Structure 1
């Protein structure tokens, strides 16, 4: 069976627009919470707030971590303030499934969900 695949996008809910230029990194680990994280790649959100070039996790991956470096984006759009300098989302995966995990971001809150 093929490995899982991961995609994401960021919507700045305070202005109702995609968040462009946010660095995003992808890491994975195998079974067990004691297993170490392996960095797989990094990207940045495009004009539509999407990362279209994240690599697939390797076979045997059970957990994936997306790290959104939100500080520069929030600082630039919020008078130098960034309450959340980063957002890290960890989730379980199974082979053959696609996981689209959007980040809804605003200056003092965020939400994530499994999209389609």
Structure 2
């Protein structure tokens, strides 16, 4: 992922919050997780087919995808791409958003 695209995505991601009961593992860098999620979305593979090269578990990628979907990330990202001009690679962002909305079952929602 380019730095330009990440500069658009990063501010839109919900902030990490630790679990109230404690425990768990240390947070994983959001850029790594986002890249893995984008891979699954745009390659149309199953979550369980996420290559180990991403260094995160399929469950982690899937959990973040659902969390981001629930938080409205994909609609915000689409609006940002439409408003951001060429600096944010709008065609690529719209492809990511379309794949995310299709995977989440919300493809017919308008942003």
Q: TM class by shorter-chain length? A: under 0.3
Question: TM-score under structure 2 normalisation?
Answer: 0.26
Question: TM-score under structure 1 normalisation?
Answer: 0.25
The structure with the greater share of residues assigned to helix is 2
The structure with the greater share of residues assigned to strand is 1
